[in-house]
Amino acid sequence: MPTKNESPEPSEERKEAATVHADAGKKAHAHSLRSLGVAATGVIGLFFVFVLGDLLARSGIGWMRDISPNVFWFGIVFLVFYLIAYISHSEFTRHIGGQLASQAALAVFVWFMYTQAALQASVLLNRVYGVDVAAFPGSSQVLTFVQMFLASRPLIYLMILWSLLHFVRYAFGKARATRISMFSSLIMLSGATIGVMALVFIHERLSEPLLLKKTYLIAKELDFNPRVNCGRFDLQGVGVFLGPEQQRVMIDAVPSTASWTESIYATEASLRSVDVPTSFPIYRCSERDEALPTPAPIPTPTS
């Protein structure tokens, strides 16, 4: 029997309750950290792609323009990780079969988007240049990611809608708000913000007329050579060699004036003076000067 100065030992029920409470606190703390990490990943990706990349691409300082492609791709990576984490940590996963099922569905959706985006990138390049997309390996990859961004609009709309519904339920629901629901709402709110910014960027910078001009500029920067040697003759302008034997060259008399990242971020006003040519001359080249003393033009394709 405990004396007056001794406190009674806690019962097993109290010990168990204390353990459960401590475990719940640890889980809530871990969930809070994950939520903050997910939101921070999205904010970093948003800042890199939509703000910092744009500023660096338009900078008048050479080294800043040189690192703008790296900033752009880092931002894309952060946004992809954010999208995966957003799906994994949101309540949306419980409605489509859990975390594993949601990630599998997302992987299938991303694969489908990539295949369709690659097809649309090929269509764009063919509309502008009228030749096989194999001649444009660099711009084809960049335009594929741009088309993936455009193809993700249904997912962006869904993310915004789900985020707003979750936030409204948290803010005005009758159920008692918990720390976990508060940090989950932080992820949801970041999803809505990033989704709205993405839609604004698509509407302002990636409309179809602008996209054709950007395709023209991106391909000219990434795949055209600034100096083309056709036999012993130097052709004026920039050119890209065609076919497996590389004996034909397509020439654009206007040299490249902007980096590909600057072209992606370009606004309608900055591209107003850019005209996409309706055709490009193609020359057949030969190392035997006696066979072709001058470059022989081939009938130009139409766009």
2, part of any domain: no
7, part of any domain: no
Same domain, yes or no, for 87 and 114? yes
pLDDT of residue 303: 45
Same domain, yes or no, for 50 and 175? yes
pLDDT of residue 46: 86
Burial label, 63 (beta-carbon count in 10 A; 0-12, 13-18, 19+): exposed
Mean pLDDT of the chain: 77
DSSP 50: I
Q: Minimal CA–CA distance to 50: which of 78, 25, 22, 10?
A: 78
- What is the amino acid identity at position 226? P
- Summarised one tens digit per residue, pLDDT across range 107-150 is 787 788 889 999 999 999 999 999 888 999 999 999 998 998 88
Same domain, yes or no, for 173 and 45? yes
- Res. 27 pLDDT band, cuts 50 70 90: low
Same domain, yes or no, for 201 and 124? yes
- What is the amino acid identity at position 11? S
4, part of any domain: no
Domain boundary among 156, 190, 218: 218
- Res. 294 pLDDT band, cuts 50 70 90: very low
The pTM score is: 0.75
The domain of 108 spans 12-218
Query: Span 224-241, mean pLDDT?
Result: 81
Report the number of distinct structural domains present in the chain: 2
Same domain, yes or no, for 61 and 27? yes
Quick check: 288 pLDDT over 70?
no
Cα three-residue angle 173-38-20, rounded to 5 degrees: 65
Quick check: 59 pLDDT over 50?
yes
- Summarised one tens digit per residue, pLDDT across range 193-202 is 888 988 998 8
What's the CA gap between 121 and 132, in Å, rounded? 12
Q: Minimal CA–CA distance to 180: which of 36, 58, 2, 28?
A: 28
Q: Helices marked H in the chain — which ranges?
A: 12-46, 53-57, 62-89, 92-95, 99-129, 137-151, 153-172, 179-205, 208-222, 260-265
Say if residues 215 and 123 touch (Cβ distance below 8 Å): no
Domain boundary among 218, 237, 270: 218
Same domain, yes or no, for 174 and 272? no
**Percentage of residues in the chain having pLDDT higher than 70:** 72
Domain boundary among 218, 246, 261: 218
pLDDT of residue 293: 38
pLDDT of residue 211: 93
